[in-house]
């Protein structure tokens, strides 16, 4: 059985190396980042993406900010933290990771530059390592819900490229593959930036998983034909009441799954649960640039000057969730 041999984010001495995901699937390119503002730009440009992965990159970014300026006073660190948090506002892992880094810095109260760097690099590495372990536990927990030969729909990219480990929703699929369950995976293309087509289809094919790419609007037809056993997605944030904020189009899949009485599973690490927000209606939803739709991948496909509404995420109400698969346990949904 083939094993994946790539990582979304990797520490390289006093910098990080990422896979430039905007170049996949045709070009596999690494990019080394030694400036925290470069990390911010890479997050904004989706060169590194996925809620856990951008949290990890941002955590390293705070250490790099101190490394590059050789400055560790709290005022400077707070400014860098605010800038990193603002790079993408919706995914909770990013702000969670930065808050954890800042809390660690304040609690340790390092007296000089060397000790400050030691604290920050160590905490970033701890966040990275913990995510790897959480992915493994999510995979094991989720695989217990999947039967031999099940047909599964997944959405966007939730695997190695999106996390510090084997992934969340895709972590379950990788674990089932390792258990020889012979599942058939249907990957939605994920409009408008095609993370499913460009990233998930590429990722799964690297390890020999049976994967079929479908247009986003094909999912309902497959469900109507009784071709689908379950839907498994990730999450960028899960609010206190159980609402799920995830890639735009997740809500539509959840409605279809309910209509056809198909389990709808959400896989996410404990760091994605936001106990400060009561419901999904409180969450700031990032809006992307119109050009990602009007000129997707460099070619104009719409009338000039057309108005565009392009939220990056939508909210799936708790009533549509069958189960939440976490690193700690499987939690019941409201369906």
Rounded CA-CA distance 314/233 in Å is 13
Q: What average pLDDT score do residues 101-115 get?
A: 88
Q: What average pLDDT score do residues 281-310 get?
A: 93
Can you give the pLDDT at residue 46?
A: 95
Q: What average pLDDT score do residues 109-113 get?
A: 80
Q: What average pLDDT score do residues 106-126 get?
A: 90
Can you give the pLDDT at residue 333?
A: 95
Q: What average pLDDT score do residues 59-82 get?
A: 92
pLDDT tens track for 160-205: 999 999 999 999 999 999 999 999 999 999 999 999 999 999 999 9
Q: Of the listed 236, 243, 274, 327, which one is catalytic?
A: 236
Helix (H, G, I), strand (E, B) or coil at 186: strand
What CATH architecture does domain 147-332 belong to? 3-Layer(aba) Sandwich (3.40)
CATH 1.20.120.420 domain residues, the chain: 9-136
Can you give the pLDDT at residue 72?
A: 79
pLDDT tens track for 256-280: 999 999 999 999 999 999 999 999 9
Check whether 313 has a pLDDT greater than 80.
Answer: yes
Q: Which of 59-63, 298-302, 317-321, 326-330 has the lowest mean pLDDT?
A: 298-302
Record the pTM: 0.94
Helix (H) or strand (E) holding 212: strand 211-214
Active site residue 243: no
Rounded CA-CA distance 19/47 in Å is 7
The single-letter DSSP state of residue 196 is: I
CATH 3.40.50.10470 domain residues, the chain: 147-332
Is-contact 48 110, C-beta < 8 A? no
Can you give the pLDDT at residue 298?
A: 85
Can you give the pLDDT at residue 189?
A: 98
Check whether 288 has a pLDDT greater than 60.
Answer: yes
Q: Domain 9-136 classified CATH 1.20.120.420?
A: yes
Can you give the pLDDT at residue 1?
A: 54
Q: Is 31 exposed, middle or buried (0-12, 13-18, 19+ CB in 10 A)?
A: middle
Check whether 290 has a pLDDT greater than 60.
Answer: yes
Can you give the pLDDT at residue 3?
A: 67
Check whether 37 has a pLDDT greater than 80.
Answer: yes
Rounded CA-CA distance 194/321 in Å is 24
CA proximity to 15, closest of 36, 34, 30, 40:
34
Range list of H helices, 109-162 = 113-143
327's tokens: 């690193």
């Amino acid at each position: 059985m083939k094993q994946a041999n790539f990582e979304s984010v990797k520490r390289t001495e006093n910098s990080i190396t990422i896979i430039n995901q905007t170049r996949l699937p045709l070009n596999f390119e690494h990019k080394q980042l030694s400036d925290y503002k470069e990390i911010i730009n890479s997050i904004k440009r989706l060169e590194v993406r996925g809620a856990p992965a951008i949290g990890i990159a941002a955590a390293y970014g705070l250490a790099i900010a101190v490394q590059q300026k050789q400055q560790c006073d709290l005022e400077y660190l707070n400014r860098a933290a605010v800038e990193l948090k603002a790079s993408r506002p919706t995914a909770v892992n990013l702000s969670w990771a930065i808050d954890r880094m800042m809390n660690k810095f304040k609690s340790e109260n390092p007296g000089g530059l060397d000790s400050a760097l030691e604290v920050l690099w160590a905490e970033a590495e701890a966040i990275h390592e913990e995510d790897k372990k959480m992915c493994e536990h999510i995979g094991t927990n989720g695989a217990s819900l999947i039967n031999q030969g099940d047909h599964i729909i997944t959405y966007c990219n939730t695997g190695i490229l999106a996390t510090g480990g084997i992934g969340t929703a895709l972590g379950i699929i990788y674990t089932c593959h390792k258990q020889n369950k012979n599942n058939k995976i249907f990957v939605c293309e994920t409009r408008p930036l095609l993370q499913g087509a460009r990233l998930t289809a590429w990722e799964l094919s690297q390890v020999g998983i049976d994967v079929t790419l479908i247009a986003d609007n094909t999912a309902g037809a497959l469900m109507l034909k009784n071709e689908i056993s379950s839907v498994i997605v990730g999450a960028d944030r899960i609010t206190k009441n159980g609402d799920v904020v995830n890639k735009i189009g997740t809500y539509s899949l959840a409605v279809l799954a309910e209509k056809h009485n198909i389990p709808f599973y959400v896989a996410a690490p404990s760091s994605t649960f936001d106990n400060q927000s009561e419901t999904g209606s409180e969450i700031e939803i990032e809006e992307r640039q119109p050009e990602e739709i009007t000129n997707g991948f460099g070619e104009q496909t719409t009338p000039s000057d057309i108005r565009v509404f392009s939220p990056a995420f939508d909210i799936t109400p708790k009533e549509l969730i069958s189960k939440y698969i976490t690193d700690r346990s499987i939690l019941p949904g409201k369906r």
